[in-house]
Chain A
Amino acid sequence: SQTIHQWPATLVQPVGSPLSLECTVEGTSNPNLYWYRQAAGRGLQLLFYSIGIDQISSEVPQNLSASRPQDRQFILSSKKLLLSDSGFYLCAWTTGGTGEKLFFGSGTQLSVL
């Protein structure tokens, strides 16, 4: 069966510091991968998605970037965090078909102080 791992679970970072969140998927190959962010009391916002290695699409302009160095690895990064980057970050995956269900990792609660 497929599983998705995301870490760390909680992160507190000062403004201006770098960020690296990692997500890996097991039990499948060539998944579509996604990064979402959920601000407090708000819905999920799609940040990036990837359909293959080194293929990244950005949904919103922002202070973040994403990379996919391996088929089942997806990384979210920032060179300098802003206060507004605080939120609950969720990695998700699905197969490459149409209308397929999206499954989420356990998320990272990021607080930028």
Chain B
Amino acid sequence: RKEVEQDPGPFNVPEGATVAFNCTYSNSASQSFFWYRQDCRKEPKLLMSVYSSGNEDGRFTAQLNRASQYISLLIRDSKLSDSATYLCARGSGGYNKLIFGAGTRLAVHP
């Protein structure tokens, strides 16, 4: 089993739709989790941290399910500008090393 697994997609959704991505991880000791957004040929940019109690930032909601070892990202009211690849990451050991999934591609169409 890969350390961090994501459905590669693509998820093709119309503007205004709600879309959710899941990301499973294999190390139950992980304490930190993140979602990053990556545009084509660009660096990943931090979208949001994922907290145990779940957290929301505007149209984006992240949740952590430790029992089932997955994190999720929900995007409401999708915009064309949300089209990108979404990477999940978990902390690995010390020194803030992050293990990334391969990403889920989202394409929002008019």
Contact = CB atoms under 8 A, between A and B. Distances in A.
Interface of A: 32, 34, 36, 41-44, 46, 49, 51, 57, 59, 88, 90, 94-107, 109
Interface string B75-105: 0000000000001010100111111111100
B100 A34 contact: no
B45 interface: yes
B1 interface: no
Contact of B97 (A43, A49, A109): A49
Interface in B31-50: 31-32, 34, 41-46, 49
Interface of B: 4, 31-32, 34, 41-46, 49, 87, 89, 91, 94-103
Nearest to A106: B43
Contact of B96 (A44, A94, A104): A94
A90 B99 CA distance: 14
A44 B87 contact: yes
A32 B95 contact: yes
B34 to A, nearest CB: 7
- Main SS class of interface, B: loop
B45 A104 contact: yes
B96 A32 contact: yes
Nearest to A94: B96
A103 B44 CA distance: 8
B34 A101 contact: yes
A43 B46 contact: no
B96 A98 contact: yes
Top 9 A-B residue pairs of the complex, sorted by shortest distance between their CB atoms:
A43-B102, A99-B32, A104-B43, A44-B100, A94-B96, A43-B100, A107-B43, A100-B96, A106-B43
